[in-house]
Structure 1
Amino acid sequence: MAETFLHLYAILTTLEVLRQYLEGTQATVLANQFLYYAPGVPTSRVAPDVMVIFGVEPGGRDNYKSWEEGQVPAVIFEITSAGTRNRDQGDKLRLYEFLGVQEYWLFDPKGEWIAEKLRGYRLQVIEEEDGPVSRYQPVEENLSERLQLRLQVEGDLIGFYRLDNGQKLLIPAELASALRVTAIQLEQEREARRKAEQRAAELAERLRALGIDPDQ
């Protein structure tokens, strides 16, 4: 479970924003659910705060077994804190690296140990003494190649922006606010049309009173 309300809110908003963004594609977004990665070994599991898996049927699961689905998560987010720091940048980082998770993002909403709050890693092939290996390297400019999004710290949350058009992916509260604004604008437009039609009818009536046919 999330440590604080801020951590929980960051998890839920990240989940919903990415779920809506990927709606209609062969992908799923899961949060705080077990990822099983070794068949026959039920203890080989981890529960990422948010994970994005491509190439699978959309929708929720009770848990995720990578060997049954045929895919490992492509992107994982951990909403981190001082209490989970060692695990998030230690065991989990090495595990996700080993599993082949392409991008790993750490978000520290309280800024307890990541001064900039957001830190990303991308899997890259590097040369070592024993040959090429895949290792996590820091992500520059907070750009997610796999998601095609730019990530930005916005208070206690991550803001997500499309790389193709710069459009922000709205969180649920922003969506609700935008809907309210749209509803007000539509109502104002309807009222303006009603008044215009009323004025036109009044003018037509005056013209008729003067013996002028407004339809001619």
Structure 2
Amino acid sequence: MGETDKHRRIMTALIEALIAFFKNIAGVYVSGNLMLYYEEGNPSACVSPDVFVIRGVGKNERRVYKLWEEVNAPDVVIEITSRSTRLEDLGNKRALYAELGVAEYFIYDPNQEYLKPPLQGYRLAQNDYAPIAPDAQGKFHSAILNLDLQIVNDNLRLFNPHTQKFLLTPLEAQEAVEQAETENARLRAELKKLREEK
């Protein structure tokens, strides 16, 4: 199914931020919009979560994810919902993710039109999902990711409670690199000038 620009931007930002966050942690695979097959021999038994994280598997790139070959199901799934997917996200997908053993399931409505509240979190408890209560700032804590999910300026952001900072989006990461390069060039020029004055 096609996505809006906003849907794709949010999905990509979350995936890239999580990949960077787990970069140096072995055995954590982050992906999204990848076909996940859950029943061998049945090609229609598949789902494509917008964003997912799986612990205990390699980080290698995949064309598809087959549960019977990989063993571990996703630990966390994030769906960016829309008018056309909201009933599926709240119904069949939610039931399927519970059946597969997805420990945490988050749903976000970027248009804030279909879900009330627009960000919802669920934790698997005895084969069904129990709602995760947000804190006073509206953050939903993911015990699996050890991160908080929060809506900031109509965007779903990931917050690291240990550093007290949001994970950088790809654009923010690029801007940080450019600022560091500019500052580095300025300091080198200043150092060169000081050496020439001696």
Report the counterpart of residue 206 of structure 1 in structure 2: none
Letter in 2 for 1:66: L
Report the counterpart of residue 191 of structure 1 in structure 2: 189
Matched position secondary structure for 1:68: helix
CA distance in 1 between counterparts of 2:2 and 2:113 reads: 15
Matched position secondary structure for 1:28: strand
- Please tell me the root mean square deviation across aligned C-alpha atoms, in Å: 1.4
Report the counterpart of residue 129 of structure 1 in structure 2: none
State how 1:13-92 maps to structure 2 within 5 Å.
Answer: 13-24=13-24, 25-92=26-93
Number of paired residues?
Answer: 192
Letter in 2 for 1:114: L
| Structure 2 unmatched runs, 5+ | 135-139
2:173 to 158, 172, 175: 175
CA distance in 2 between counterparts of 1:114 and 1:77 reads: 14
- Compute the TM-score of the two structures, normalised by the length of structure 1: 0.84
Report the counterpart of residue 11 of structure 1 in structure 2: 11
* Contact 1:10–1:156, Cα closer than 8 Å, also in 2: no
User: Can you list the C-alpha shifts for 1:136-160, whole angstroms capped at 9, x where unaligned?
Assistant: 0111220000000011112343211
CA distance in 2 between counterparts of 1:37 and 1:75 reads: 16
1:162 to 146, 160, 163: 160
Distance 1:74 1:190, change over 3 A: same
More deviation, 88-97/37-46 = 37-46
CA distance in 1 between counterparts of 2:22 and 2:60 reads: 11
User: Can you list the C-alpha shifts for 1:31-50, whole angstroms capped at 9, x where unaligned?
Assistant: 11111111222221111111
Matched position secondary structure for 2:122: strand
Matched position secondary structure for 2:79: strand
CA distance in 2 between counterparts of 1:44 and 1:136 reads: 21
Percent identity between matched residues is 35
* Contact 1:30–1:60, Cα closer than 8 Å, also in 2: no
CA shift at 1:180, angstroms? Answer: 1.3
Distance 1:61 1:116, change over 3 A: same
More deviation, 68-77/2-11 = 2-11
More deviation, 189-198/95-104 = 189-198
Distance 1:77 1:100, change over 3 A: same
Higher RCO, Cα 8 Å, sep 6+: 2
User: Can you list the C-alpha shifts for 1:35-86, whole angstroms capped at 9, x where unaligned?
Assistant: 1111222221111111111100102211111111110000011110122111
Matched position secondary structure for 1:160: strand
CA distance in 1 between counterparts of 2:69 and 2:92 reads: 24
Letter in 2 for 1:9: R
CA shift at 1:115, angstroms? Answer: 4.2
1:135 to 102, 112, 128: 128
* Contact 1:6–1:156, Cα closer than 8 Å, also in 2: no
| Structure 1 unmatched runs, 5+ | 126-133, 202-216
